[in-house]
């Protein structure tokens, strides 16, 4: 077998290719929707539809419109920098979902954990006195506090699963809404609401009001005019740490063993209940770390009356984890891709008659496609369908 053939025969390569195919199908579907909608609407027409399609694929490299109204292309520093900044929270929520998946748990509770992280990080960063403590210490306290809050919040559905055998999906969904209500309750009428700037009482102060902000590490110079900061480096570091923990340590081995077969793991002397709670706590702390990195950046404002909606970054962790096939390193790339779609959505709504929700449609299609990544990989294997016994992919009910 030649080198190239060997490379394509690897399982890892096939996984990457099947993810790429999912992405491609998602983008093409989005482009088709944009095209059909454009054609059926007189105000958009062929020209507008074609612009929309091009933006979907290459929006991140768009530099706006020229004087004649044509789209211009090139290196867009602020877009790319914002892409890195926006990818920080989704990388970490994706990591959160991926780690739980490895233990056989579907952590749909990332939005709630994210919100609890938001609460802890903002409350700590804004209430600790910056004239007495060094701001970097406040930043670290807020970051660690957020992770602790997320860990506790994640452990709740874990406990319910371990002790009462409640389906973690339901428990997670309930804790999500409880978190959304708690956060609203906590901030409602508190001293954290921004009353200094006109019309901003619906928002919490930026952490820069207390001189707390994530270090830039020169990324703001590299990507001029963007929000890029060291958060992306911290997220990548956490991904590497999780990769090592999951693949090279006893703890990771035990967690994965519980995920593969809880009963067999218990038979082998692994404490399955402890590991389920631990896995959810780790997942929770990761999701909360994502929110801390987002809100501690110093230039983001949190809309606190959130009891009727959950943060999209929490849910977007699910497609990120699925795209990355639960590989912590893959999560970094999938997260950056997801952030790229986010930028594309903003470009679409700024430059054309379309709106940013088309990128959510694309993400949903990608998730749907990844549900049958099994089939795609089967086709890649080139075996006839009938020979291959379908793997059991549904996880154990309840």
Partner 1 sequence: MSFLIQQTLLFMVPLMIVALAGCFAERSGIINLALEGIMIFGAFIGVLFVRIMQEKEVFEAAKSAGRWGSLQFFEILAMLIAGLAGAIFSLLLAFAAINLKADQTIGGTALNMLAPALVLFLVRIMVNQNTLMMAKGDAASWFMIKKSTFGIDKKTDIGFLGETLINKVYIATYICILIYIILAVILYKTKFGLRLRSCGENPQAADSLGINVVKMRYIGVVISGFLAGMGGFVYALTSSNCSANGDVAGFGFLALAVMIFGNWKPLNIAGGALLFGLFKCIAACYSTLDINGDGVFWLAEIGISTHVYRLLPYVITLLVLAFTSKQSRAPKAEGIPYDKGKR
Using the rule CB under 8 A, which residue among 276, 323, 370, 377 binds partner 1? Answer: 370
**Contacts (CB under 8 A) with partner 1, residues 186-245:** 188
- Which residue lies nearer to partner 1 by CB, 188 or 197? 188
- CA dist 49 and 46 (Å) reads 5
- Which residue lies nearer to partner 1 by CB, 162 or 336? 162
- Which residue lies nearer to partner 1 by CB, 5 or 392? 392
- CA dist 293 and 282 (Å) reads 17
Q: Which of 225, 218, 217 is nearest to 77 (CA)?
A: 225
Closest distance of CB 2 from partner 1, Å: 33
Asked if residue 353 binds partner 1 (CB under 8 A), the reply is: yes
Counting beta carbons within 10 angstroms of the beta carbon of residue 210, is it exposed (0 to 12), middle (13 to 18) or buried (19 or more)?
buried
Residue environment code for 8-27, b if the CB has 16+ CB neighbours within 10 A, otherwise e: eeeeeebbbebbebbbebbb
Strand partners, 71: 65
Q: Are the beta carbons of 58 and 64 closer than 8 angstroms?
A: no
* Helix or strand run (H / E) with residue 73: strand 71-73
Using the rule CB under 8 A, which residue among 8, 136, 267, 357 binds partner 1? Answer: 357
How many chain residues bind partner 1 (CB under 8 A)? 56
Using the rule CB under 8 A, which residue among 271, 307, 346, 380 binds partner 1? Answer: 307
Stretch that binds partner 1, among 212-220, 258-266, 273-281, 306-314 (CB under 8 A): 306-314
- Which residue lies nearer to partner 1 by CB, 211 or 352? 352
Rounded to the nearest 5°, which phi and psi values hold at 28? -65, -40
Asked if residue 175 binds partner 1 (CB under 8 A), the reply is: yes
Using the rule CB under 8 A, which residue among 136, 185, 267, 303 binds partner 1? Answer: 185
Tell me which residue has tokens 């454009």. 38
- CA dist 242 and 292 (Å) reads 18
Asked if residue 355 binds partner 1 (CB under 8 A), the reply is: yes
Q: Cα separations (Å) of 352 from 43, 65, 71, 142, 341?
A: 11, 11, 10, 40, 16
Using the rule CB under 8 A, which residue among 21, 215, 230, 375 binds partner 1? Answer: 375
Q: Which of 322, 320, 337 is nearest to 371 (CA)?
A: 322
Asked if residue 337 binds partner 1 (CB under 8 A), the reply is: no
Structure tokens at 319: 């497609």
- Which residue lies nearer to partner 1 by CB, 340 or 365? 365
Residues that bind partner 1 (CB under 8 A): 33, 37, 41, 106, 108, 160, 164-167, 169-171, 173-175, 177-178, 181-182, 184-185, 188, 307-309, 315, 318-319, 322, 353-355, 357-358, 360-361, 363-365, 367-368, 370-372, 374-375, 389-390, 392-398
């Amino acid at each position: 077998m030649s080198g190239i053939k060997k490379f394509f025969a690897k399982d890892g390569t096939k996984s990457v290719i099947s993810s790429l195919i999912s992405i491609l199908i998602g983008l093409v579907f989005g482009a088709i929707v944009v095209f059909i909608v454009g054609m059926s609407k007189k105000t958009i027409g062929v020209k507008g539809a074609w612009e929309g399609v091009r933006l979907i694929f290459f929006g991140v490299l768009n530099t706006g419109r020229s004087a004649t109204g044509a789209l211009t292309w090139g290196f867009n520093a602020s877009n790319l920098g914002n892409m890195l900044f926006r990818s920080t929270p989704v990388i970490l929520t994706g990591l959160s979902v991926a780690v739980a998946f490895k233990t056989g748990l579907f952590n749909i509770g990332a939005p709630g954990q994210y919100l609890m992280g938001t609460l802890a990080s903002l409350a700590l960063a804004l209430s600790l006195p910056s004239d007495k403590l060094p701001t970097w210490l406040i930043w670290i306290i807020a970051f660690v506090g957020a992770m602790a809050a997320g860990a506790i919040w994640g452990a709740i559905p874990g406990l319910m699963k371990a002790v009462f055998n409640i389906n973690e999906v339901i428990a997670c969904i309930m804790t999500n809404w409880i978190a959304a209500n708690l956060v609203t309750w906590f901030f409602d009428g508190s001293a954290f609401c921004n009353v200094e700037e006109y019309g901003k009482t619906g928002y919490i102060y930026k952490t820069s009001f207390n001189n707390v902000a994530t270090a830039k590490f020169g990324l703001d110079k590299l990507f001029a005019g963007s929000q890029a900061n060291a958060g992306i480096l911290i997220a990548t570091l956490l991904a590497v740490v999780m990769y090592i923990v999951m693949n090279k340590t006893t703890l990771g081995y035990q967690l994965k063993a519980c995920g593969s077969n809880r009963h067999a793991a218990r038979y082998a002397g692994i404490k399955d209940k402890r590991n389920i709670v631990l896995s959810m706590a780790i997942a929770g702390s990761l999701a909360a770390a994502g929110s801390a990195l987002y809100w501690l950046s110093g230039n983001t404002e949190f809309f606190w009356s959130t009891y009727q909606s959950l943060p999209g970054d929490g849910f977007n962790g699910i497609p990120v984890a699925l795209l990355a096939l639960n590989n912590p390193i893959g999560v970094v790339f999938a997260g950056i891709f997801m952030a790229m779609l986010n930028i594309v959505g903003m470009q679409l709504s700024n430059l054309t008659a379309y709106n940013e929700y088309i990128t959510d449609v694309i993400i949903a299609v990608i998730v749907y496609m990844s549900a049958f990544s099994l089939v795609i990989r089967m086709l890649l294997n080139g075996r006839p369908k009938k020979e291959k016994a379908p793997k059991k992919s549904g996880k154990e009910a309840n």
